[in-house]
């Protein structure tokens, strides 16, 4: 997943300490990257049965890519956060994971499908940045290729003051997380405090995520202007739905 770069005026979010426990915490919360990736492949092939290649933008630790690599002939990832990219590289030594910013990247090739999952698109600061990212992704699609973007909450669905708490153990490490999310204009501020315990003791850290509340119409306009008109599908993988666009010839 991306983090805010200094030129975007927001703090770096995906640090080494977060990358270390990222998958543990979300597995404790019930996330199944393999099942999600399998569903995405089914969705992509329903639109483009010929699909053989895929680019995962903001691929994070490569958890989705691991399954994509078993289903597609060729996959690549793009990730701006070095700590997350390092985990992906260790996991998938035969897969290229590019260092890059979703707002402006050029890989020199196109793909049957491009995905941008979880809440990655919402780390962009405003509609202009989001539109730039959708356009960059669409430019990396073959004609008839499929672009799938998972949004963050729409403004009208966001719950101001939302509180969550989770704890569990994975492979001998205990992780606890308490988060509180508030709204500041067009931005949701998610503050998460972590306790991480292992054989070497217990440590704690805090992460603050700033996620923009883009509207449904803004996403549709961005896809259409990129030559990749999209359908919004309710529910999706995590309850926030999916935008599924197909690039024109």
Q: Which helix (H) or strand (E) holds 19?
A: helix 16-28
Please report the pLDDT score of residue 14 as a whole number.
81
Per-residue pLDDT of the chain (249 residues; tens, 9 = 90+): 433 443 344 445 688 889 999 999 999 999 999 999 999 999 999 999 999 999 999 999 999 999 999 999 999 999 999 999 999 999 999 999 999 999 999 999 999 999 999 999 999 999 999 999 999 999 999 999 999 999 999 999 999 999 999 999 999 999 999 999 999 999 999 999 999 999 999 999 999 999 999 999 999 999 999 999 999 999 999 999 999 999 997
Angstrom distance (rounded) from CA 183 to CA 158: 8
Asked whether residue 224 is assigned to any structural domain, the reply reads yes
pTM above 0.75, yes or no: yes
Q: Which residue has the tokens 């309710």?
A: 234
Please report the pLDDT score of residue 6 as a whole number.
34
The residue among 158, 203, 149, 199 whose CA lies nearest residue 176 is 203
Angstrom distance (rounded) from CA 18 to CA 14: 6
Residue 249 · residue 188 · CB < 8 Å: no
Asked whether residue 32 is assigned to any structural domain, the reply reads yes
Please report the pLDDT score of residue 12 as a whole number.
55
Give the range of the structural domain holding residue 160, as residue numbers without chain letter.
156-211
Q: How far, CA to CA in Å, does 103 sit from each of 139, 181, 209?
A: 12, 25, 18
Q: 71 and 186: one domain?
A: no
Residue by residue, DSSP assigns 83-126 as HHHHHHHHH-TTSEEEE--TTS---SS-EEEEEE-TTGGGGSSS
The CATH number of whichever domain residue 234 belongs to comes to 3.40.50.150
Total domains in the fold of the chain? 2
Q: 19 and 116: one domain?
A: yes
Asked whether residue 1 is assigned to any structural domain, the reply reads no
Asked whether residue 64 is assigned to any structural domain, the reply reads yes
Asked whether residue 41 is assigned to any structural domain, the reply reads yes
Angstrom distance (rounded) from CA 63 to CA 150: 16
């Amino acid at each position: 997943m991306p983090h805010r770069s200094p030129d975007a005026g927001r703090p770096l979010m995906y640090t080494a300490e977060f990358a270390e426990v990222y998958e543990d915490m979300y597995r404790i919360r019930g996330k199944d990257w393999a099942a999600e990736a399998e569903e995405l492949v089914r969705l992509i092939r329903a639109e483009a049965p010929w699909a053989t290649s895929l680019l995962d933008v903001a691929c994070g630790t490569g958890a989705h890519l691991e399954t994509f690599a078993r289903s597609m002939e060729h996959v690549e990832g793009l990730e701006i956060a070095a700590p997350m990219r390092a985990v992906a590289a260790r996991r998938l030594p035969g897969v290229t994971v590019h260092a890059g910013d979703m707002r402006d990247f050029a890989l020199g090739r196109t793909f049957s499908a491009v995905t941008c999952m979880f809440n990655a698109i919402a780390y962009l600061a405003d509609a202009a940045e989001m539109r730039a990212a959708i356009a960059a992704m669409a430019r990396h699609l073959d004609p008839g290729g499929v672009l799938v973007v998972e949004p963050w909450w729409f403004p009208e669905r966001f719950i101001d003051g939302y509180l969550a708490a989770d704890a569990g153990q994975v492979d001998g490490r205990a992780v606890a997380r308490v988060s509180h999310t508030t709204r500041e204009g067009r931005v949701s501020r998610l503050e998460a405090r972590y306790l991480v315990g292992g054989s070497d003791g217990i440590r704690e850290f805090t992460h603050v995520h700033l996620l923009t509340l883009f509207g449904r119409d803004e996403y549709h306009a961005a896809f259409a202007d990129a030559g990749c008109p999209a359908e919004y599908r309710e529910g999706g993988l995590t309850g926030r739905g999916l935008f599924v666009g197909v690039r024109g010839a």
